[in-house]
Structure 1
Amino acid sequence: MIDDFAKTHLHSDLREVREAILWKLDGLGEYDIRRPLTATGTNLLGLVKHLSVWEARYFGEVFGRPFPEPLGRWDDAEARGSDMWATEHETREEIIDRYRRVWEHSDATIIALDIDSPGYVPWWPRPQVTLFAILVHVLTETNRHAGHADILREQLDGLTGTAARYANLKPDAAFWEARRAQIERAAKAAGPTIA
């Protein structure tokens, strides 16, 4: 009983956070979803591409149910990081459609297997896993990247929220300017920066 509840609960949470990731692209142009917004080049479309590759891998080859489309090798040092950004030849639609196909494949694996079904992650130091462990891992990683997407989107146009129904669509600039100034004063009062 608890196994079914845990699997259903984790799967439901994963479905919600996947949608939140894609929602962060809504209303933005091609440049804004692709442009590097951190020193390491993190960008919104790259996060979607990255999540699609790794979710396909975790719910695919880990359980002997490989995703039916080509994936780069996880151990290819030359290709490392190429899943974190989209080339000019990869369209938004292609990347989003692929992510949705990954969802279907992952969902089929989650539904078909028991929560204690064994899997094997060759790139982990302790490669013997269960579906439960992978569900938790993928949910954690997807949430982590959803947090990145939250910050990136806020940097672009001030939009915040975890889903369209909770969006702060019209940020009150005066409120946020006052709040930021308050936080800045508190930070300065706490002490000097350390070089």
Structure 2
Amino acid sequence: MDTKATLHRYLALRRDDLLAKLDGLGEYDLHRPMTPTGTSLLGLAKHVAYVQLGYLGDVFDRPAGRPYPWDDGEDDADMWATADERGADVVALYRFSAAHADATIEALPLDAVGEVPWWPEERRHPTLHTVLVHLTVEVARHAGHADVVRELVDGSVGMNRDNPNLPERSAEEWRAFRARIEGAARTAARAGAPAADG
């Protein structure tokens, strides 16, 4: 497998991981904020959809012809879904953005140069290779966020249905494992262990 195909494959896998975290949930659980900063499953999917449209669309002069939610001036408008945005709408946008991104990847060589106007001048003209690495890391990061958010929503864990990537434990074994970690944390605090750097 060549370098472009490998990068594309990993991007597609991480996209699927994130999207799988939305499976089987109703509108409330998809929309509801699960962290103090408002992170929701639908917000993560919406954000990744627009990030893909930007990095693998506009950056390479291949606009998708869709307005961005922040065009109206609201900060973080891509990070949450309004009451009018249904789960199916965001999933359709996510799939559209993936198809648009895939077309850009297929059409351009890895050394094609784009322009990222929001990056510092010295990095403003990356290659497709650089953008693919950047985007894959970003999607993987948000898929990880979705892992945690989904666990908070309904206790579902694992990378996806086909690959849980976790040891098989009963609910009681997970409680004991968590209690062991909690115990280690309390012992470290009592011992005055310094905070980890980095």
Compute the TM-score of the two structures, normalised by the length of structure 1: 0.91
Q: Please give the root-mean-square deviation of Cα atoms over the aligned residues, in Å.
A: 1.9
For structure 1, list consecutive stretches of 5 or more residues without a partner in the other structure.
none
8 Å CA contact 2:69–2:77 kept in 1: the answer is no
- Does the 8 Å CA contact 2:46/2:80 hold for their aligned counterparts? yes
The 5-angstrom pairing of residues 154-193 of structure 1 reads 154-167=151-164, 172-192=170-190
Mapped partners of 2:62, 2:94: distance in 1: 17
Q: 2:32 matched to 1:27?
A: no
Structure 1: how far apart are the matches of 2:62 and 2:48?
A: 18
Alpha-carbon distance, 1:72 to partner = 3.8
Partner of 2:35: 38
CA distance 1:128–1:30, shift in 2 (3 Å)? same
Per the alignment, residue 117 of structure 2 pairs with: 122
* Letter of the 1:89 counterpart: D
The residue type equivalent to 1:25 in the other structure is L
In the alignment, is the contact (CA less than 8 A) between 2:57 and 2:63 conserved in 1? yes
The whole-number CA distance in structure 1 between the counterparts of 2:101 and 2:3 is: 17
List 4+ stretches of structure 1 deviating above 4 A: none
What does residue range 8-19 of structure 1 map to in structure 2 within 5 Å?
Answer: 8-19=5-16
Cα distance in structure 1, aligned partners of 2:70 and 2:35 = 26
The one of 133, 138, 149 equivalent to 2:135 is: 138
Amino acid at match of 1:90: E
Residue type at the aligned position of 2:106: I
Give the corresponding residue for 1:51. Answer: 48
**Partner Cα distance (2:110, 2:134) in 1:** 13
- 3-state SS, counterpart of residue 114 of structure 2: strand
Any unmatched runs of 5+ in structure 2? none
In structure 1, the partner of 2:66 is: 69
Count of residues in correspondence between the two structures: 188
When normalised by structure 2's length, the TM-score is 0.89
Cα separation, 2, equivalents of 1:112 and 1:146: 26
- The alignment partner of 1:165 has SS state of coil
SS in 2 for 1:83: coil
Partners of 1:93 and 1:72 lie apart in 2 by 17
User: Percent of aligned positions with the same letter in both sequences?
Assistant: 46
Corresponding residue of 2:106: 111
Residue 7 of structure 1 contacts residue 132 of structure 1 at CA under 8 Å; is this kept in 2? yes
Cα deviation for residue 33 of structure 1 reads 1.1
Q: Secondary structure at the match of 1:79?
A: coil
**Deviation of 1:191 (Å):** 2.2
Q: Which of the residues 85, 88, 100 maps onto 2:83?
A: 88
> What's the secondary structure of 2:91's corresponding residue?
helix
Following the alignment from structure 1 to structure 2, what is the Cα–Cα distance between the partners of residues 27 and 135?
30
